[in-house]
Amino acid sequence: MKTIYDFTVKDRKGTDVSLSEYKGKVLLIVNTATGCGFTPHYDPLEAMYKELRDKGFEILDFPCNQFANQAPGSEDEIHEFCTLKFGADFPQFKKIDVNGESADPLFAFLATEKPFAGFGKGIKNGMLEKFANMNNKAFGDKAYIKWNFTKFLIDREGKVVARFEPTVDMGEVRKAVEAAL
> What angle separates helix 75-86 from helix 42-52, to the nearest 10 degrees?
80
* Residues 89 and 80 sit within 8 Å (Cβ to Cβ): no
36 is catalytic: yes
Given the residues 26, 28, 30, 36, the one annotated as active site = 36
* Residues 162 and 176 sit within 8 Å (Cβ to Cβ): yes
Residues assigned a catalytic role: 36
